[in-house]
Chains A and B, each alone.
Chain A
Amino acid sequence: MQIVSKDLVYTYSEKAKALAFRALDGVTLTIPEGEFFGIIGQTGSGKSTFVQHLNGLIPTKEGNGQLLVGEFDLTDKNTNLKELRKKVGMVFQYPEYQLFAETVFEDVAFGLKNFYPDLPQVDVEDRVKQAITTVGLDYDKIKEKSPFELSGGQKRRVAIAGVIVSRPEVLVLDEPVAGLDPVGKREFARLLKTLHATFVKTVVIVSHDMDFVAEYCSSVAVFSKGKVVKVGTPKQVFEDRVGMREMGLDIPVTEYLKDALKEKGVILDCDLSVESFTKAVAEKFAKNKGETDL
C-alpha cells in the first residue's frame, strides 16, 4: 500500500479559538510500498500528529488536504476504518501502557479477535503463538501469565505482539525505542527487519535516534513546524549539516566521526552504517600503512 499525503492540514482544538494549534500545515509526502521509512523532526513538529492520521485515529476533514493509504481515501467519511486498521498497524510510544487483559494470550489475541471475529480458535492460537515467538518470547512459558507481572521489556514485546498479530501490511511506529537500552534497541531493530522481510510491506517509523535512522531506514522525511521540509535517503538528508543544525536535529555518530577525520585531512568515502564506516577506515589504514612501509 502506497501512502500519499497532499497538503494535509490539521488543527488541534479548532473550535476553541484561543487554544487552536495548527500542528500540520500542509504536509505533502509520498511513502511508496516497501520502504523502511523514517520520520524525524524537532519535538512538536507534528510527527505524531501525522502518523496518527495514517490509520484514521485522527480524522481528516474535507478541505484539509488529501490522504490516500492504499485504496483507502481518508478524506472520505465512509471509509471503513476497521478494514484500514486491519492493514495499518500502529505501535505507540510506551506501548506497554495499553495492556489490559488477564493473560498475555488474551491481550495479544485482542486485536486479532476484533479484526477477525470469525477466526476459528485453533487459528487464533496459531497466530498468537507465532506473534509471541516473533517478538522473541517463549510462548508456552508466558501465555498464561498476567501481563502486569512481566518486566518492562517483556511488556513492550507483548504489546508489539498484540499489534503484529493481525499481520498489518503497513506498520507505523511512533518512537518505539524510547527508554530501551542499547541492546534492547538493537534487538528491536532486528525484529523490525524480520517483520519487514515477511508480511509487513512498509514500515513507517518516527524516531529521535539518528543512528537508528541512518542504519536502518531506506528513506527519511524531515518534519519542521507542521511541514515536510526534506525527503531523501538518510545520506542525502544528513549531508545538509547546516540545515540539520538549523532544525535542531542531530546527525548520526558516523557522520560526526567523518567530519572529525576530514578536519585532520582524512577523507572517507562510505555510507552511514557503522559497518560501512569501519570498512572504509580499515581500508584507509591498510593503504596508509603500505605507504609508510615504502
Chain B
Amino acid sequence: MKDVTFGQYYPANSIVHSMNPAVKILLTIAYIVAVFMVKQFYFLGFAACLLAVILITILAKIPFLKVLKSVKAVIFFVLLSAILQLLFNKNGTPLWKGGFITDVGLLTAGFITARIVLMVLGATLLTLTTSPVDLADGIETLLFPLKLIKFPVHEFALIMSIALRFIPTLIDETDRIIKAQKARGADFDSGNIFKRAKALIPVLIPLLISSFRRADELADAMDARCYAGSKKRTKYKKTPFTVSDFFGLVFMAGLIVGVVFLNGFII
C-alpha cells in the first residue's frame, strides 16, 4: 500500500526545485500553451518542446526514467486516441492500395500522441520538483485576485494543504486497518463485485471514524494555538522571486517564440 507514492515529489537540490512555486505553475501553464500552439503536422515545434523537457530534467537533477514513467498513467488513453485516428480518419490517401489506414490518419495519430505525451511530461516536471505543500502555496498566491470578490483564498489553500498533508497518514491508517481485518479472516480479493464492496465496510467505517477524530484533534490543536483565518498572517516559508525564476521566464518565453517560429517550417 505504501508503494503508492502520492504526488511523486522527487526531492533534490536544484535550481528548478528552488524556484517560486507560483512562477513554476505559471510556467507550466505557459508550456502547455506552447505545446498547443504547435500547428498541425509541424513536428519541429514538438521537438523544441521535447528539448525543453530534457533540459529542465537535467537542470532538476531528476532521472529521465522517473519523468518518462508518468506517461504510463495515460498510456491507455494515448493508445486509444491514436488507434481511433488510425482506423477511422478517412482523409488523405490510403497508405497502400485498398488499405484502410491513410497518411493523414497516421500523421494525426502521431500528432495527438506527441501532444498528450509532451503535455503530461511537462505537468510531471512540476509535480516532481514541487512538494504538495509548495504547490498549495503557489496556488494560493495565484488565486490572489479572487480575494477581491471576497473568496476565502487563504482558507481554501489551507484546506488543500491539510488534505495533502493527511493523504500519507490515511494510507498508513488504511494499511493498518486492512491488516487488522485480514487477521480476523476478512477476505478482500474473492467473490463478485457486490461481495467485495461489502467486504470493504469493515475498513471504511474505522477509517471514517478515525478521520473525524483526527479532524477534531487538529481543530483543537489549531484553536489551542489561537489560529485565526487569513488576516495579516505572515508566512513561515517565504518564496521570493529569485534569479532562477527570472531565467525560467526567459526560458519559457524563448520556447514560445521558438514554437511560433518553427510553425513556419514543415518537414
A interface residues, Cβ below 8 angstroms from B: 12-13, 15-16, 19, 52, 55, 57, 82, 85-86, 89-90, 92, 95, 97-101, 110-111, 114-115, 148, 162-163, 166
Q: What residue of chain A has the Cβ atom nearest to residue B203's Cβ?
A: A100
Nearest to A100 among chain B residues (CB) is: B205
28 contacts between A and B (CB under 8 A): A12-B2, A13-B3, A15-B3, A16-B5, A52-B179, A55-B183, A57-B179, A57-B183, A82-B185, A85-B184, A85-B185, A90-B180, A92-B183, A95-B180, A97-B173, A97-B176, A97-B177, A97-B209, A97-B210, A98-B177, A98-B180, A98-B181, A110-B186, A110-B202, A111-B185, A114-B186, A115-B185, A162-B184
Dominant SS at the B interface?
Answer: helix
A to B contact number (C-beta, < 8 Å): 66
Residues of B within 8 A of A115 (CB): 185
B209 (CB) vs chain A CBs: closest residue: A148
Collect the chain B residues with CB atoms within 8 Å of residue A19's CB.
5
Determine whether B195 belongs to the interface, using a CB cutoff of 8 Å to chain A.
Answer: no
CA distance A85 to B186 in the complex (A): 10
A-contact 0/1 string along B64-80, CB 8 Å cutoff: 00000000000000000
Which residues of chain A are near B173, meaning CB under 8 Å? 97
Whether, in the assembled complex, B187 has its beta carbon less than 8 Å from a beta carbon of chain A, the answer is: yes
B182 to chain A: which residues have CB within 8 Å? 57, 85
Whole-angstrom CA separation of A85 from B202 in the bound complex: 17
**In the complex, what residue of chain B is closest to A15 when comparing beta carbons?**
B3
Given contacts A90-B179, A92-B179, 4 further A-B contacts (CB under 8 A): A12-B2, A97-B173, A98-B184, A110-B185
Q: Assess whether B206 is interfacial by the CB under 8 Å rule.
A: yes
Which of chain A's residues have a CB closer than 8 A to the CB of B206?
97-100
Which residue on chain B has the smallest CB distance to residue A102?
A: B205
The residue that B184 contacts in the complex, of A12, A16, A163, with Cβ under 8 A, is A163
Tell me if B201 is interfacial: C-beta within 8 Å of chain A: yes
Bound-state CA distance A99–B183 (Å) is: 13
Identify the closest chain B residue to A117 (Cβ). Answer: B185
Q: In the complex the two chains form, is A86's CB within 8 Å of B185's CB?
A: yes
Set of chain A residues within 8 Å of B209, measured between Cβ atoms: 97, 148
**A168: nearest chain-B partner, CB-CB:** B183
Find chain A residues with CB under 8 A from B2 CB: 12-13
Chain A residues within 8 Å of B5, by CB:
16, 19
Greatest chain A CB density within 10 A among B177, B180, B183, B187 is at: B183
Nearest chain A residue, comparing its CB with the CB of B182 = A57
Bound state CA distance, A185 and B184, in angstroms?
24
Q: Which residues of B contact A82 (CB under 8 A)?
A: 185, 187
CB distance B184 to A110 under 8 Å? yes
Contacts of B184 in A (CB 8 A): 85, 98, 110-111, 114, 162-163, 166
Let me know if B185 and A16 touch, CB within 8 A: no
8 Å CB contact of B185 from A100, A101, A166 = A166
> Which residue of A is nearest B3, CB measured?
A13
Q: How far is the CB of B129 from chain A (nearest CB, A)?
A: 15
Q: Are B202 and A100 in contact (CB under 8 A)?
A: yes
In the assembled complex, the Cα of A148 lies from the Cα of B181 at a distance in Å of 17
Q: Please, how many angstroms separate the alpha-carbon atoms of A19 and B205 in the complex?
A: 30
> In the complex, what residue of chain A is closest to B177 when comparing beta carbons?
A98
Bound-complex Cα distance A199 to B239 (A) = 63
Complex Cα gap A229–B5 (Å): 33
The CA-CA distance from A140 to B187 in the complex, in Å, is: 30
Q: Mark B198-222, 1 if CB is under 8 A from A, else 0.
A: 0001110110011000000000000
CA distance A163 to B183 in the complex (A): 8
For the complex formed, measure the closest distance between the CB of B27 and the CB atoms of chain A, giving whole angstroms: 26
Shortest B116–chain A CB gap in Å is: 25
Q: What's the least CB distance linking B166 to chain A, in Å?
A: 16
B236 to chain A, nearest CB (A): 27
Specify which chain B residues have a CB less than 8 angstroms from the CB of A101 in the assembled complex.
Answer: 202
Contact B3 A16 (CB under 8 A): yes
Q: Which residue of A lies closest to B180 (CB)?
A: A98
Residues of chain B within 8 A of A12, CB atoms compared:
2
Which listed residue, B177, B183, B203, B210, touches A90 by the CB 8 Å rule? B183
CA distance A285 to B3 in the complex (A): 61
Question: Would B202 and A92 count as touching, CB distance under 8 A?
Answer: no
Instruction: Look across to chain B and name the residue whose beta carbon is closest to the beta carbon of A114.
Output: B185
